[in-house]
Structure formats: structure tokens, C-alpha cells
Structure 1
């Protein structure tokens, strides 16, 4: 029986094929990536972030983005957004015929300069024409906002700074804002304070937690209680945390599904099948899955 105050259904925004693989040291071949996406769709995941149009020099793991989208056979009803960093990335996305893109911004000055080569304010000037043109072309645009809880160079990040940055992205026309705990330092108290500082409909917000300190599930539960119903996750916990060496990265989709099942929240995912997909991918990567649920079910 579902607890009062929790959503009846959660949309899982699966990022394993993009955010997960781009942070793995191994570079997989195109056929493996295509099979991964096919398996994930067959497992019931409604949104699969397929790839990234970031320059291959910066993300060599996803250098085959154009070829992947040419060969991808979409499943009916499944969305396949792609990450675009700038106008050039949008050009490639439009040429590929995608209908959904995401942009990646920073809540802090330090990370904006290191990741985007822009100041905090300059990043919005860069994204605004990208979002406007994408919207004019009929694409939906999601915004990621990184470093929402802590920054490795600046320390703790004030909620009002995150809210200000997030509202600028929503005001551009982004349909959803994903709040990222990029280095995995958030706790449920942090989550409550940040989400409480937003005066927007909870449907406009999503959460993206890393499990560096083992808090990703607890943080997700806090977000659900605060009205969020879209959660980013990565099959098998794929992806590391680039700012905490050897630390666990993304929240594992299987661990999330196990919790949602226990809470009586609908999600549409076949957990047994998904765990088998993650075991298969772990074999391709030559490393065990980071998901505790995968290891409990299949170990």
C-alpha cells in the first residue's frame, strides 16, 4: 500500500547509455550500444537517454553518436533524448531527426568554467539560442543543472543560487529541470531544503543523484515526498563520479525500482529482466555491476 504524500507513479529517466557509458573507461562497439538500448526498452523503461553530441575529443566513448542514431530502431512509446552542448550539437541532433534534447548547465562558477569554458552568466547566453531554436523546431528541451548540492572547488552550494539558475533555464522554455548531485554529497535534509526553496510545480523538477556517500536512495525518497515524480537512474549503476576517484556514480536503476516496488509506486519496469541486462552489460565492460539489487538477484 502506497504511503500518503508519495506519487502514484514515477517516470524513470534512464541515463545508462549516455551518462553511464561516458564515464566508463571502456569504449564499447556500436552494436553493443544498440543492443543495450534495445534491451532497456524491452525491459519497460520509458525514457532512454541515447547518446551525446559533445565533441568526440571530450567524450570519446560516445564518438559514434551519429551512427548510433542512424541505426537505432526505436520502440513504440519510448523516448530517446540526446545531450547537446551548443549550437553545433543541436545541428547534429536536428540532422539526426531527434525529438528531444537535453542541455547541461552548472549552478556554480567554477564548474561552468571547467566544464563549459564559460562563466556562470555566459553559459545562459550560450544556451538561450539553442533552446529557442530547438523549441522553434518542435523539440522538447530538458535542462540538467549540475553541482546543486556541493562543488569540489567551491564547497557547499546555497539553495537560492540553485533556484536562481534553475529558474533561468525553465524561463528559457525547458520543460523540465533535473537537479544534479554531481559529487554525491547531498543528504535528505539538503534535498528537503533545496526542493522547498523552489516555488514551481513538482512536475517541472527531476532529481539526479550520485551514490558517492551511499545517500542516493534516501535522497530519492526525500524528493518523492517533496512532490518530484521523475528520477534519473543508470542501469546497473553504470558511470563513475569523476570528482571522487573509485566512488560509486549514478543511482542504480534496479535499486530505485526495488525501492519503488516496496513503496507501492508504479514504474512499468521488469526488474528481473533489467537485472539480467545489467549483468550482460557488466560482462561487456569486464567489471561487476555496482547495483546491490543486481548482485542480490543475480549474484
Structure 2
């Protein structure tokens, strides 16, 4: 309609608005770039982060601040209860795709940003297969890894060869696809790729006018930036956030007898928790443990420990 009106007035129709996608490793500046583009282009930001969909833990998942959200509208952040264990990429896609259409309908530019690539892939390409029995995948994941992989090997050897036997989530997903459709998962993916506009990454692009920005950073600069980020997280109240999360959610899981015993951590043998920062080791695993209030241990920060070289 707008294009026809423009032609009647003698103006060239405006090109369709693009879908902007920003991805890259943690710490490369995705959120900052998305905010700048959103402000300059009049866009709205759609988060594609599998951890930021959950309520709480704003610091450790590095969510954008309330001030930043007021500068530019953000979507798909903090709307899933952390006790929900069956939120999937299909759920994400089914909520995000109509949202993107809504943003386009208001003549704005959707800016998808996040570090969960398979969430982004679900928006860009026709790659997902809808399944009907919501609890079947959970049931399959209860099987032994070797048995689960053997079952997949019998019905879809190509997909089984691609998946690690211990990747129960993906193995169970492929087995569920076969159980519900009678067609091997790998064959369905090949069919999608062979559709017009399809390719190695999946079926046709959902949004033909896409601008994809993949951010990179020098490794030394990235290491320094992430070290500073951890320090900033601690200063912003990371330990308090983790303790509060444990009180509100983990204790509720215990009360409902849904606590997974493998997730229960025992206290360290020493009387204090030693963390290192600066050029030293990554303190996040220890910080997570420190969130368990039963420990109530003092935290000592050790500066200047040489970083272990990456293998």
C-alpha cells in the first residue's frame, strides 16, 4: 500500500526495512552496538540469549540495565520462570517471530542480538521441526546416554554420526522427530536445505532483507575486557544476587522435591573461599559456589596470578 502510494505521488518506493542481527563471542560488544543502532535507526532490540529469558540473575547473565532499556525498547528478557525446565528454542522462535512482525508493522527495525546462535538460526532460517508431545523429549533424556544413542543409530545413522553420544538433549530431540514423523531427522533437514533459497545452514531465509553483523575482538583485549566485567559484576552485587536466587528458587525446588542431587555442592575443605582476579583464573565457578548461603565463608581475592595458557 505504501509503495503504491509512493508511485502515485511520483516517488520511488522506500526499500523494505532490514532485519539486523548482531552476534559474536561474549564480551565483543554486542549489546552496546545494538543499543547504538537502536537509537540511531529507531529500532527495537530482540534479545536472543538462552539465559536472559529467565527472570532474575540480571548481573551474572549480564542483562542490559533498566536505564539502557528505557533508552531503547528491549524484548525477550526476563519473562520465563527459572523453575521452568522445558523452555526450548521452539518456544523462543514461536514468541520472537510474531514479535519481529509486530516491530516491522510499526515501521521500526528489529535488531536481534545475543550469544545463543541456535536461537538466532531459528529466526533466520527454516531449520526447526515442530513436535507435538511436549514431555516425550524429557522422557527420552532419562535413558542412559549409550542406549539413547543406539536407538538413534538404528533409525537415523547419519544424524547419530553427527551427534556426540553424551549430547542427550540433541540425541533425544532427533529421536523424538523420528518417532512423531516416521522420517529421519537428517532427511527432513536435507529436504529443507533443498527448498528454493535453502542452503547448508537450513531452509530459505525467513527475512530476505537481513543484515548480519558478526563481531570479533583481539583475544588479549577480550581477555582483559572479561576480567574487568567479572570485577564489575562482583562490585555490582553478584554474590548477593546469587544468595538471593538460592533463597527464592533453590529452596522452593527442595520444598517441592525437585532438587537434582547432582547439583548439590559440598562445602570446600578449607575455611575460606579463595578467588582470583585480574590476570588470574576465572572466578565465576567459585562465585557460583559462594552463592550457597550454607557456606557463609569469607572471600579472599588474589591478584596477579598468571593466566593459564589456552590449549
User: If the TM-score is normalised by the length of the shorter chain, which range does it land in?
Assistant: under 0.3
- Bigger radius of gyration among the two: 2
- So what's the TM-score if we normalise by structure 1? 0.27
TM-score (norm 2): 0.27
User: Which has more strand, going by share of residues?
Assistant: 1
